[in-house]
Amino acid sequence: MNKYLFKVLSKLRNPNLWTVYKELKQNENLTKEQLLELQYNKLRDILIFSYNYSPYWKKIFDKHNIVITEDDPFGVLKKIPLTDKDTLISNNSEIHTQYKFNKTFKAKTSGTTGASLSFYRNELWDSYNRASIFRGYSWHSVNPSEFNFYFWGLNLSLKKRLIIWVQDLLQNRRRIFSYHKKDFESLLKHNPFLSYIEGYSSSIYELAKYAVANNKVSTFPNLKLVKGTSETILPHYKKMIKKAFGLGFANEYGSAEAGIIGFSCPHDNMHVNSESVIIEEIDGEAIVTNLNSKSFPILKYRQGDIVEIDFKANCPCGLPHPIIKSVKGRVGELIYGKNSTYPSLLLYNVFKNINEKYDMSISYQAIQKLKGQLLVKIDQNPTEFLNKIIDAEFKKYTKTDLIIEITRLKFKVKSSKFRDFVSEL
């Protein structure tokens, strides 16, 4: 698509988009102290707005004797109790602010980690989301109007499929949602127009794996960016992307409700989107406050991910934004043994250890239907050797408390994000 036409169409949807984008690009030259001052002012603004227009937040601030006009908004933030998705769902109407915005967009979470959440996102908030992604593209010399592959789910109702088809046409992208050989063969034909690949991390990994296995690794001469989102990027995913496409595997981290939290630069460091969010690391968990969420204030939100953040790091790219060193998995998801419980991060550790010890890259999904038993699906034929080393690695953590059954994982058509752990208890 012509980049000028793309700019005009995107501005019709988001009048503030390109103004925000220009601001974000200018902020790349700020010092860390100046970026912190920007957050200071935006935090004060969202706290005052939330108190004045959100019945829920006014009630919470009053209940906890939180004075939002105190000199230090960061000090105020520390006093606000944590919220989670259940809180947002059960207090939905009260959290929405009683303010007349010129334009809002209805947003909805996927529901893969529990109940689905619907809310309205004010236009400026939405513009910051989109502009943050576009800024991330710019770090990799990508213009968002350029042709791309988009690995994502597809709604099966005819009406919504038609809407999605038009959206994809306007955004100059080809949507992919299956793992069939014929689809991969079609994608991996020589294509000098492909600029970037984005979408579900596990899906892009499968394409890369197929490309390497079938000697189709030089078909995209002008590919500039491969970006995964919505799912954890495992270490062996990055190795395979490098083999297949000669590029790193960039990460876009966030959620529908918290917004865009981070984006990877060309040095494989994921920078916090500081103009839009304040992210805190509390007991290893990501706690997010969105600075633009005036229609539905997201304050002290439990993102649900185990993270490690370096607030003082200096990246070779020169950006002043802090670095999210890792996103390892979900907080609070438990695997039940016969007598004990284990965090679902156990899965990450087991297969990370196997990768380091045996140089074996294994994609996996674990499903629990009964306490004391765990079905582990892997993307390779479960040979006697594989069964033995996987079982042995689990036993290091669980002894005889958990019976492991190993079977083959088959990737199929995708309508939602891939989850490495599914509890049916």
pLDDT (tens digit per residue) in 135-176: 999 999 999 999 999 988 665 567 777 888 888 888 899 988
- Indicate the pTM of the whole model: 0.84
342 — pLDDT class (breaks 50, 70, 90): confident
Between 304 and 18, the more confident residue is 18
Unique residue bearing structure tokens 């190993």: 406
Mean pLDDT of the chain: 91
Q: Give the model's pLDDT for residue 235.
A: 84
What would the two tokens of residue 90 be?
Answer: 């059960």
Give the pLDDT mean for 22-44. Answer: 97
Confidence at residue 3, expressed as pLDDT on a 0 to 100 scale: 80
Give start and end residues of each alpha helix (H) in 335-421. 345-358, 384-398
**CA–CA separation, 107 and 10 (whole Å):** 18
Place of tokens 């908004």: 73
Task: Find the helix packing angle between 235-245 and 201-213, rounded to 10°.
Answer: 50
What is d(CA 21, CA 132) in angstroms, rounded to the nearest whole number?
7
Query: How far is CA 20 from its chain centroid?
Result: 21
Contacts of 321 (CB under 8 A, 6+ apart): 35, 271, 272, 273, 274
In angstroms, how far is CA 93 from the centroid of its own chain?
Answer: 26
Structural domains present in the chain: 3-330 (3.40.50.12780), 334-423 (3.30.300.30)
pLDDT for res 214: 93
